C-alpha cells in the first residue's frame, strides 16, 4: 500500500490520470491525499470530480478556494466566470450529487498516527492543532448541512486576517476559510496578507511566507499544502511540503509518495 499527495489539479484530468498510471495507482490498496483546488482554470473539472468520486474511500480531499467557489457558483451565490470552465459541470445531470459530495469535505486533514497535516493553503501560525480541528470541523458541519446556502453567503469576507478568541463566531469561520484556502504571506505579527501571489524573492518586506512565521504546531508533523505555484523552485524548509506544480499554468502536476519520500511529475499534455 502506498500513500500519495498532490494538489491543485485544476481540471487537468489527462495529467492526473497519466500521473497515477505512472505509479500504478490502485484505489483498492493505495491512498490519494489531495490538498484542494480540484477544479477551475483547466478544461475538465467535471471529469476530475467524477473520477475522484469513483475512488471512494481511497481519496482524502481538503477543500481549496476554487472548490468553495464552485460550490458557491452552483448555489447561485457567486457569478460563473469564463475562466472557471464550469459550464459543463453546471449542466451535468450529476452536478448536485457531486456538489453534495464536495460539501462534505473538510478544510484540513490531520493524521496523528503518521504525524501528517494537509490543508490547501497551509495552517495558521496562530493555531495549535486543537484550535485547527475545532474551527475546521465547525466549518465542515455548516457547509455539509442541507440548508448550507445562507451560511456560505455569510462567510464570504476577505477582511478577517487576524485570529483572536474575541472574534464573533462567523468572523472565526471567515478567518478559518481565509487561513486554510487563501493564505500565502503573513506580517511578523501573524496577520494574513492574501493579496501577494508572487515568489518570496520579489515580495516586499516585512511580508514573509506563512511557513516562516513561528508556529504552535509540533515540528514532528509533516505539513502538506498547495495553492502557491509561484513557490516552485523556492526552498521550503522542513517539515513543510509544497505540492503545487502549476499544471494549470502550463507547467506540471506534482505528486509525493509518503513511504519512500519520492517525487513524481507529469508535464502538461497537448490536446
- Only one residue has cell 494574513, namely 192
Q: What are phi and psi of 9, to 5 degrees?
A: -70, -40
What was the pLDDT predicted at 268?
A: 87
234 DSSP 8-state letter: S
Number of domains in the chain: 1
Query: For 160-205, what is each residue's pLDDT tens digit?
Result: 999 999 999 999 999 999 999 999 999 999 999 988 999 998 888 8
pTM, to two decimals: 0.96
Q: What is the pLDDT of residue 169?
A: 92
CATH of the domain at 135: 3.60.21.10
Q: Rounded CA gap, 107 and 102, in Å? A: 11
Q: What is the pLDDT of residue 156?
A: 82
Residue 157's nearest CA partner among 146, 144, 168 is 168
Residue-level pLDDT at 89: 97
Q: Which domain holds residue 129?
A: 3-267
Residues 200 and 13: their CA atoms lie apart, in Å, by: 30
CA–CA gap between residue 15 and residue 257 (Å, rounded)? 17
Q: Dihedrals φ, ψ of 96, to 5°?
A: -65, -40
Q: Helix-strand-coil percent breakdown of the chain, rounded to 5?
A: 35, 15, 50
Give the β-pairing of 59-61 and 31-34.
parallel
C-alpha cell at 10: 485544476
> What's the pLDDT score for residue 74?
97
Q: Which long-range contacts (CB under 8 A, 24 or more apart) does 206-212 make?
A: 209/184, 209/185, 210/121, 210/122, 210/124, 210/125, 210/183, 210/184, 210/185, 210/186, 211/122, 211/236, 211/237, 211/240, 212/237
H/E segment holding residue 102: helix 95-103
Distance CA 264, CA 254 (A): 6
Residue 271 pLDDT: 60
- At residue 269, the pLDDT reads 81
Give the pLDDT of residue 152. 95
**Residue ranges of the chain whose pLDDT lies below 70:** 271
Q: Collect all residues with Cβ–Cβ distance below 8 Å to 85 and sequence separation of at least 6.
A: 11, 40, 41, 42, 43, 45
Amino acid at each position: 500500500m502506498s500513500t500519495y499527495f498532490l494538489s491543485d489539479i485544476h481540471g487537468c484530468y489527462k495529467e492526473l490520470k497519466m500521473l497515477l498510471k505512472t505509479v500504478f495507482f490502485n484505489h483498492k490498496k493505495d491512498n490519494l491525499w489531495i490538498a484542494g483546488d480540484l477544479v477551475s482554470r483547466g478544461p475538465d473539472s467535471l471529469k476530475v470530480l467524477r473520477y475522484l468520486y469513483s475512488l471512494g474511500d481511497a481519496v482524502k480531499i481538503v477543500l481549496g478556494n476554487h472548490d468553495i467557489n464552485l460550490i458557491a457558483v452552483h448555489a447561485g451565490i457567486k457569478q460563473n466566470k469564463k475562466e472557471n470552465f464550469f459550464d459543463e459541470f453546471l449542466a451535468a445531470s450529476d452536478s448536485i450529487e457531486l456538489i453534495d459530495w464536495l460539501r462534505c469535505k473538510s478544510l484540513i486533514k490531520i493524521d496523528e498516527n503518521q504525524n501528517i497535516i494537509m490543508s490547501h493553503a497551509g495552517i495558521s501560525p496562530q493555531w495549535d492543532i486543537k484550535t485547527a480541528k475545532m474551527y475546521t470541523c465547525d466549518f465542515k458541519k455548516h457547509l455539509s448541512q442541507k440548508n448550507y446556502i445562507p451560511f456560505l453567503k455569510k462567510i464570504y469576507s476577505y477582511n478577517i486576517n487576524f485570529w483572536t478568541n474575541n472574534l464573533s463566531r462567523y468572523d472565526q469561520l471567515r478567518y478559518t476559510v481565509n487561513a486554510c484556502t487563501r493564505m500565502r504571506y503573513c506580517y511578523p505579527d501573524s496577520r494574513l496578507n492574501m493579496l501577494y501571489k508572487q515568489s518570496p524573492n520579489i515580495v516586499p518586506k516585512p511580508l514573509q511566507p506563512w511557513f516562516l512565521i513561528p508556529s504552535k504546531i509540533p515540528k514532528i508533523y509533516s505539513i502538506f499544502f498547495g495553492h502557491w505555484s509561484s513557490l516552485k523552485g523556492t526552498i521550503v524548509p522542513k517539515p513543510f511540503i509544497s505540492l503545487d506544480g502549476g499544471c494549470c499554468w502550463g507547467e506540471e502536476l506534482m505528486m509525493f509518495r509518503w513511504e519512500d519520500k519520492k517525487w513524481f511529475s507529469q508535464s502538461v499534455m497537448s490536446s
